[in-house]
Structure 1
Amino acid sequence: MTKPRPNRPPAPDRDAVARHDGERLQKVLAHAGLGSRRQIEQWIRDGEVQINNRPARLGDRWRVGDKVKVRGRPLNLDRRLGARTRVLLYHKPVGEVVTRRDPEGRPTVFERLPKLPKGRWVTVGRLDINTEGLLLLTNDGELANRLMHPSRELEREYAVRVYGRVSDEMLEKLQRGVELEDGPARFETLEAAGGEGANTWYKVTLKEGRNRIVRRLWEAVGATVSRLIRVRYGPVALPPGLKAGRFVELTPKEVARLEAELEQA
């Protein structure tokens, strides 16, 4: 028998909180789509954010009527905070980088995205230039922060094509755990998924997003990844038939369902 869930207290009135106690400045700016909370915290440390004509500090709270500037540009937060939350599912192709401007002139994922009337697209994590597949983007930096935060332990699923012979011992080690230069890591699940000749496909899942973590795990046991595709991030899967370089947008109901699932995670 399913145990009844305890009644949760009602969510606080955001406007009332902002009028009286205020909300943390970095959280408000993230919610307004300026960037992820982590990015904004760094901007505050670097002196690029002002509140009421003084440099902002971590811990400052924003209240309705406060004047905020980011990199010298005044913001109308009341208007920005009224924007609805949007989420894009982008099929990133190989060869694109997940950055706004690339000094080497390589194409970026942002070049294909629709323009926002206010705010900007924030990526949920990254994929390296040689990895393709699902990349989530949102105009709500606070939602992006919740999707990326390690405490959520959201599962990422990848299709991996490995070149060369893979032994049972190598597979066992990948699930048991290997020591990388930035700490131990392992796959939560690892399943063979077919293949021909010297190439074998595997389906793997893990609950973290360290840089190049999937490739580095295989490299740690002496295997070479010849193709890597992210097919799922948490509860969101890469839509079947969505071609590389294309995107679809979640409906408002789907966004609400995603936010509800995060609350339960």
Structure 2
Amino acid sequence: MTEKLQKVLARAGKGSRREIEELISHGRVSVNGQVAKLGDRVTGAENIRVDGHVVETQAPAEIVCQVLAYHKPEGEVSTRKDPEGRPTVFDRLPKLQGARWVAVGRLDVNTSGLLLFTTDGELANRLMHPRHEIDREYAVRVFGEVNEAMLQRLRKGVMLEDGLAKFETLKYSGGEGMNHWFHVTLKEGRNREVRRLWESQEVQVSRLIRVRYGKIELPRTLPRGGWAELPLEQVNYLRKEVGLDAEERSKVDVHAPERYKQVAQIRKAVRKHNSRVKGTQKKETPARPRSPGQRQKRKTRM
């Protein structure tokens, strides 16, 4: 059975079908050593490359759509590898065989909170596409003078360098002095959009946490740097939102009360990662050897 090349590559997480069609049109995709063209169909068993890099593909029947909720801490970058050697959001994720985790969007290095990962590249790309208008909610702490005129401008729309932007909702959540907390929602994921909107009003963002993606909330019990796999019901909610068929299988053990085993694995992975990255393990200092005179004095006292 064959499928369109762009569909196979989208499932592998290489972009949306439209983006992959652009790659094919520009000669950046090859199949078994031959430059691919629009309309090509493949089985998935071929040697497929994008920009010279081999793409790992799977047949649809072999893939179980899994989704992780990850509590990203500040200081991690949303790329697989960082030239500066900084920790990445992929470092602590569970290992997979025959598949890979695809991030649903990004959070910048200074932003924490909910980040979703999935094994289904098509699901990831559809979730990120603006046409589906899935809202994201952030808790944001700002520093500076805030007045009602500013809030109205942020609700109605502000012209940024990449176009008009606004908060769908904006609610005050408390604060003191020059520090104020707000909860805001967006229906798109432009680069640093929350920060740039506030900066357009000459207000500085001092803390930014994503707390919700659609109906998926950041679990309160999930530690920073920890992950939890979403149950089938939530996976299918996301698939339905972007027009994909429901998944019938799940790798989550729904019969394990509170998923104690998974929580223990999360905590263990967090401790292991922190000790490796931050170098928190301390070497024991060897005892200072006593001189023969000191040993003799000790015997005399006894």
Q: TM above 0.5, one fold?
A: yes
The aligned counterpart of 1:62 is: 41
Q: Distance in 2 between matches of 1:211 and 1:65?
A: 33
The aligned counterpart of 1:130 is: 110
The aligned counterpart of 1:152 is: 132
The answer (yes or no) to whether the contact 2:16–2:126 under 8 Å persists in 1 is no
Q: Distance in 1 between matches of 2:202 and 2:55?
A: 52
Q: Structure 1 residue 74: deviation in Å?
A: 7.2
The aligned counterpart of 2:222 is: 242
Structure 1 residues 218 and 111, CA gap change in structure 2 (3 angstroms): same
Counterparts of 1:197-236 in structure 2, within 5 Å, are: 197-236=177-216
For residues 104-163 of structure 1, the C-alpha deviation after alignment (integer angstroms, 9 at most, x for no partner) is 111100101011101211111110000001111111110001101111011111001011
2:95 maps to 1:103: no
Q: Structure 1 residue 50: deviation in Å?
A: 2.1
Q: Distance in 1 between matches of 2:179 and 2:217?
A: 24
The answer (yes or no) to whether the contact 1:49–1:56 under 8 Å persists in 2 is yes
Structure 1 residues 72 and 221, CA gap change in structure 2 (3 angstroms): closer
Q: Structure 1 residue 99: deviation in Å?
A: 0.4
Counterparts of 1:24-63 in structure 2, within 5 Å, are: 24-31=4-11, 33-37=12-16, 40=20, 44=24, 47-57=27-37, 59-63=38-42
Which structure has the higher relative contact order (CA within 8 Å, separation 6+)?
1
The aligned counterpart of 2:234 is: 254
Scaled by the length of structure 1, the TM-score of the pair is 0.83
The answer (yes or no) to whether the contact 1:35–1:120 under 8 Å persists in 2 is no
The aligned counterpart of 1:92 is: 72
Match of 2:124, SS state, is helix
Counterpart selection for 2:100 from 117, 120, 139: 120
The aligned counterpart of 1:180 is: 160
- The unaligned stretches of length 5 or more in structure 2 are 245-302
Q: Distance in 1 between matches of 2:180 and 2:170?
A: 13
Q: Distance in 2 between matches of 1:219 and 1:86?
A: 37
> Which amino acid counterpart does residue 255 of structure 1 have in structure 2?
V
- The unaligned stretches of length 5 or more in structure 1 are 1-18
Q: Distance in 2 between matches of 1:150 and 1:138?
A: 18
Q: Rg: which structure is higher?
A: 2
Q: Structure 1 residue 102: deviation in Å?
A: 0.6
2:183 maps to 1:191: no
The alignment yields a C-alpha RMSD, in angstroms, of 2.3
Structure 1 residues 135 and 46, CA gap change in structure 2 (3 angstroms): farther
Q: Distance in 1 between matches of 2:57 and 2:172?
A: 52
Q: Structure 1 residue 259: deviation in Å?
A: 1.2
The answer (yes or no) to whether the contact 1:67–1:75 under 8 Å persists in 2 is no
Q: Structure 1 residue 42: deviation in Å?
A: 6.4
Structure 1 residues 195 and 50, CA gap change in structure 2 (3 angstroms): same
Q: Structure 1 residue 93: deviation in Å?
A: 0.5
The aligned counterpart of 1:6 is: none
Q: Distance in 2 between matches of 1:192 and 1:65?
A: 51
Deviates more, 1:59-68 or 1:105-114: 59-68
Structure 1 residues 127 and 75, CA gap change in structure 2 (3 angstroms): closer
Counterpart selection for 1:165 from 145, 167, 174: 145
Q: Distance in 2 between matches of 1:232 and 1:74?
A: 32
Q: Structure 1 residue 227: deviation in Å?
A: 0.2
